Structure 1
């Protein structure tokens, strides 16, 4: 198995938890993080060596990462496993899987790359590389099936973790927030690059919202101490120290549950907000050159996962120059003040939650066992 990022580490660990009872003597090896290691996984290379954020950030690290891929390929070809499982991280794993599959080693990829959003041409490589695809969104099954790729929908792990009826009162009590407070949760991203481009606009929007309603309270979960320091540095450089925001150590789910609405960077966090049944505004900014490259690859009008799953603009999306402070503040104010809209959203997000709910550990493990002839 190979996971190259924390999200893949969590996915793979959950799969391992379902797999181990059926093959207790199996040797589990490759590259993984702390959650996989806790399941008895042997990581021969630190996962941190693979974790690279951003399209352009890969270039200076390419030779090192390619060397790791080649070394692992040679090891697996010399001592073939019953199967290879790539946990997300498609840029690395699909290339490795293509070589392993050609050598007769069964390859499983979990989760399906978002070919429905961009880079649809990647399906040709997937056909060559993947023996069986595990997907976390129900509509993905038909896409891969039509392409001739064996596929299993296993549900989204987040749908199991997040309660169907979140405890807003409990979350506010945990954070020391008044039960009757008007709370906005600010989530500019966990990656340093996301913080770099989103923080100032998000905090400026919070300042404008505060001018409209002095009673508003703001909370912002930080992924770690490094992210906290960088967030504060960016706020200070922009002269926004007067904006009162309670920074939290982690606790992102508690922060979402406590909020009346969430200003969130596009990505998995937006799906988490939807599963917590909260109104939101999705926004994202990036390096100008990267934006000019990526903006031409989109195949559909939505980038936020809640909107993609709904196939409509349930919540506002604001990207790059459109994600300016005034526009963000106006959109957030609408989410906070439109009560009928909030009720409609809660119902749509509840339906979405049910559609994503499976026992992903059991379902993914069953698919792997079938591939290796142990089903």
Structure 2
């Protein structure tokens, strides 16, 4: 009998996790069928996607409200098809606002459910763990602190490690990255990463460009790299660059992709809070995190969050190992000050690198293989 597994991944990061998991499962279940919602990487592994994955990629409360009718329609049809296919297991990959609702309804109908990537219960008050328990039979956790938090709610959870820790080398090759990007080995480089979404770039581009201008005044030998991921974010950043009226010879280079090479090549990184902050930590780069959200979103987040930090490196190290400049603190002057502080302090950079090496070793666990093993165990229980 063919094993049928449904998965839902709504963003590029989830697509990568799903693809790695499918590949690891195929080694154990070569005849399994994988269906649901996923992106091109999952589809290259033989996944059958019923809807375009990008339709689930929404950001912020306003965007969710605007797209709510479509999202509800997709959810209804997805649940109907999963039940009609009589799948053996459902795996929701990240996207908790969408996937937990799907998982809850399927679990009530007797379908075994796994949530892959724990929602940030370490950043939000504990009531969220109860919602997850009602939705998922098991949680796959990327961070070591998470299973203990679930245990308090008698919720099965397994730490599998982080896939980026498996992918990235413990010691990045700075000279090789600079050679690939045609950057001299002795140049001083700052990377600006204002986000992967249009909303992030529209809110942060002007401040990042203003900070670059101030940094260049203090250190004229600096050069700046800006890796962007889409045509839309490129156009937003380009428009902000024109509006800033920097000199024509200003040493700033916009790139499509190559963000990992750019970070490895950097002496310091200024980025939008998100997964990129963890990537920068695993690449052992001195980092400054910035973020802006809408006024009402910020007020709501302040009421809900109880940790003093927002970026993953600080959360995982349980300390302010890198600066976080949020909302009104996110100004060109303060961003420039924070980056220049890293550039001026070799001892601080060395201490940070040691913290990041320890973090990398803790997260390196062979995550896809571990995740596949948990899935196999859950399939056995479902059977």
Maintained 8 Å contact 2:116/2:140:
yes
Distance in 2 between residues matched to 1:37 and 1:115, nearest whole Å:
30
1:365 aligns with 2:378: no
| 38, 43, 52: which one aligns with 1:46 | 52
Distance in 1 between residues matched to 2:68 and 2:208, nearest whole Å:
33
What whole-Å deviation, never above 9, does each CA across 1:240-260 have from its counterpart, x for those lacking one?
Answer: 465431111100000000000
1:19 aligns with 2:25: yes
Maintained 8 Å contact 2:222/2:251:
no
Maintained 8 Å contact 2:210/2:244:
no
Match of 2:343?
336
Maintained 8 Å contact 1:307/1:315:
yes
- Equivalent residues in 2 for 1:217-232 (5 A)? 217-232=223-238
- Equivalent residues in 2 for 1:1-375 (5 A)? 1-118=7-124, 120-240=126-246, 242=248, 243-373=250-380
What whole-Å deviation, never above 9, does each CA across 1:71-101 have from its counterpart, x for those lacking one?
Answer: 1112222332110000101011100100111
What whole-Å deviation, never above 9, does each CA across 1:286-339 have from its counterpart, x for those lacking one?
Answer: 222222222222110010111001101001111011010101111111111101
Structure 2: runs of 5 or more not aligned: 1-6
Structure 1: runs of 5 or more not aligned: none
TM-score normalized by structure 1? 0.97
Distance in 2 between residues matched to 1:304 and 1:79, nearest whole Å:
40
Maintained 8 Å contact 2:96/2:119:
yes
Aligned residues: CA RMSD: 1.3
TM-score normalized by structure 2? 0.95
Give the number of aligned pairs: 375
What whole-Å deviation, never above 9, does each CA across 1:214-268 have from its counterpart, x for those lacking one?
Answer: 0001111111222212210122234346543111110000000000010011111
Distance in 1 between residues matched to 2:146 and 2:33, nearest whole Å:
31
Maintained 8 Å contact 2:209/2:244:
no
Identify the range of structure 1 (312-321 vs 290-299) with the bigger mean alpha-carbon deviation.
290-299
